[in-house]
Structure 1
Amino acid sequence: MKYSLQLGATIALLLLLSASLANAQTNYKISVPQSFLTKDFLALATDNITNSGRHIEGGKFELILEQEHAEIYVRSIFESAGIPVLNVSSTKEIATFREKAGGNNCETAELLCSNTSQTANSGGAGTQELTGANQGCLGIEHQSSWYYLNVQTGGSLSMTINPNNGSDDYDFAIWGPFTAATANANCPPTTAPVRCSYSSCTGPTGIGNGNGCYSCGFFGLSTCYGAVTGTGTSEGAGGDSWVSALTTSANQIYILLVDNFSNSGQAYSMSFGGSSVLGCTPVVLPVELSAFTVSKTSKGNSLGWTTQSEDRSNYFTVEWTTDPASGKWSEIANVPAQGHSQDIQDYSIFHSNPSTSEINYYRLNLTDLDGSRTTYDAYMLSADNSKDSKKVERVFNLIGQEVDDYYKGIVIYYYSDGTTEKVYR
């Protein structure tokens, strides 16, 4: 019996070890000259590669990848960024569970209703929403979470972001102030943030007073930690991780982005202090959009969208391009909205002359009654009409009448190859 129990325990241990190895990752330690050992160089080399963590530890860069035996690849990405590599070594470690957080995109920002401490996690980048116009001190999104801060009582507002993993480097930016009616139209933001920290310090960061890092020691070459009074509104990699508190007024809305530069998937806690109090007044969404679709036919593309509710909506604009990276979009239709509705509403348009040599891209915009404009980038559609070979010969409505391209409703296409298709346009 004793040997049977020992055998069972051994088998269980081997299974556990096997499962652990299956989830293992590799930590690559990259030795570089001291002058290159900065956050900016680490970002330059690794911002555009998939990784599970990155840090500056023990006088070396650390890069965590799922790939084993990738020392040559790791060396190449740093040297391609102009960073001399002295040595690359690696060790195996168990993968950390990465919880996907809500609010990875500004469109799905979470409303924070309390000053009390809460746990959150930046599990992914979502859509890259930082641009030259709004990024301030930040670069790209790495593992990001977006929030609305709704000020109920005005005053001085401080904030502390405290990573669970003390070696993680968290950054943040705050935009505003807005109102409950305009916050959604400014998400993602269109201007520079009012507070921003891209400090290379690890550990806590925020606005107001806290424990930050600064250069001291032998000729200022080593890093020290201690109490810091937040000053200034923005700081780069050389900052001490704290900027000045916000002075707020009641009913103001701010937008907050918290970003895990380290890509570790580790959670953080966040709390707010000062005399300002956050409340739970909802941020007004002019339109709750639930669907945006495209149906491709040889006569063109039928586009439709559905709203669950509308508040102060004026009209929709459908835009089209064959090169979304250029930022040049053409308006192909304006459709009146409902204004105010708590019922499901369906809309549609027909694009009769899409490109047949390039991929067609579509996006939807809403103009509110106060003139605010919202672009639903997360719902961007594409259609490749170059693959259509059969031609539409005749189009009929459901009662058998032949109709032209301007007819709205359900129609039946009769193709040259004898097939038919029912389309809502």
Structure 2
Amino acid sequence: MKRTSLLWAIMAAASAQTYNHPTTGVAGTYSGGCQVHTCSGTYYDNGGPGSNYSNSINWIYWTFCPNNSTQCLRATFTSFDVESGCFLPFGCSGSPCCYDILRVQNGPAQNGPILWQGCGTTGPGTVTSTDPSGCLTFRFCSDGSVTRPGWAATLSCVNCTRQPAGNSDCQASTPVCSNGSITDFSYGPGSSAQCGGCITNENYTNFYIFRPQGASGNIQLSVCPNNGTDDYDVAIWGPFATNNLSTLCSSLGAPVRCTYAVYPGDPGPPPCGASNACTGLQNGNADNSEDVCGNGWVAPLNATAGSYYILMINGWTAGAQGYTLTWTLPPGMTLNCTPLSQPVVAFQAEAHAREGVFLRWSYDARRLGPQETLLGWAIDRSGDGGQSWQTIAQLPTEITTYMDRSPFVGENLYRLRYGYEDGRTEVYLKPQRVEWYPAAGSPFTAWYDASQESIHLQIFDQGRSGPIELYTLDGRLVRRLEVESSPFLTAMGFVVKDPGVYVVRYGGLSVVVPVVK
């Protein structure tokens, strides 16, 4: 039972953040609000530590994610009391049948794999995310009568194997380098939530920054899921005069274009949602933003040449398997990923076993203004996905290479800063991620070969690291291979008949492999 003394409540509030479950969805959705990034605090039902939860909460969910890229969220339930009993058609439908029911789901999606669900006084105990995002989602339903004290859960984070965040966060936006199509995939939301306008929360996000050049005019784009069934949304912010992502991403506000239509939609009457899995900006649509009942398309973006824009693509389907982004530009317009305001034209990071990470970059002095003179470079490194940075080198302008001889084991993120004689500093637009291991690089890599309907593994440590395991995304073990030490072991494979997202584990690491058929 939840303790109700005023003193306890005051002490708990003073020692850690508290989170009370929402009772209504935002903008016509079941989402109770933007996802929370934290590794501490106490999560309660909407009644908090001293009151019962409310009646008539209709499967509203809330997502919690770690605030770093190397850990997974854990919820330890210290009390649990939710109305039990079952008398259909009354109460919340589901299995088990309960008048009121709480679900704990793996990952950031509305309908992610269920780790636990139930009612009564025996709660989930301790639940830890095994999703590549490290997130947990909580959904709650209560009927129209009788409430109970609800629950209290302590939130924390534990070390786990996570997939690289990639461009899932606004501050790691990928520059769009050409007018060509882009195929991409996300493992979860970014570490700094972008919610506003029609965006209620992030699920599986990819961010891009683009800059039209040559001509202004209307941009159309389409986002089509690779499997033809996943639900994706699109949002665009801009125009901006700068490409400084730290500045832009801290205060994006409401997007200027936003699709949030559910797919597949309800044919009605009245109809609600999209009838086609593709979404985006298209001629013939006049609305700049739409909610869940929109048709999936909004008006083209009247873009200004030379300005910057941020694009977010947000997957709602659990285990979303990626998409293809296609641009339709007006005559004379091109997209260029190297802004003319930045002198740096390339920045690369390469892992070298036993030696470290080799960094190199190049710049074009012709991109400098008539009164601009470069003073030198600074190399920053992060081991937590960009949450914190450490300067590891400061170099004069004439040096454009550096060997980091003490990188973190595992994932490293590097960014290049440069300064001018007038005291200004800038950060190169595209940071570099690289994995480094002291012995022989990463112990393995894995990918899906459609021609053989199998997941292939290339092994780099001669099979000295124990078993190879194949899991579904919800944690179900599909197959396990015991590996004996052998200097000749370089490759293995699993035949996979069913499409989906799989996790291959070997040598203490995991690789997520989408299987699209």
Shorter-chain TM-score: which interval?
Answer: 0.3 to 0.5
Greater relative contact order structure (CA < 8 Å, 6+ sep): 1
More helix by share: 1
If the length of structure 1 is used for normalisation, what is the TM-score? Answer: 0.47
Q: Which has the larger radius of gyration?
A: 1
If the length of structure 2 is used for normalisation, what is the TM-score? Answer: 0.40
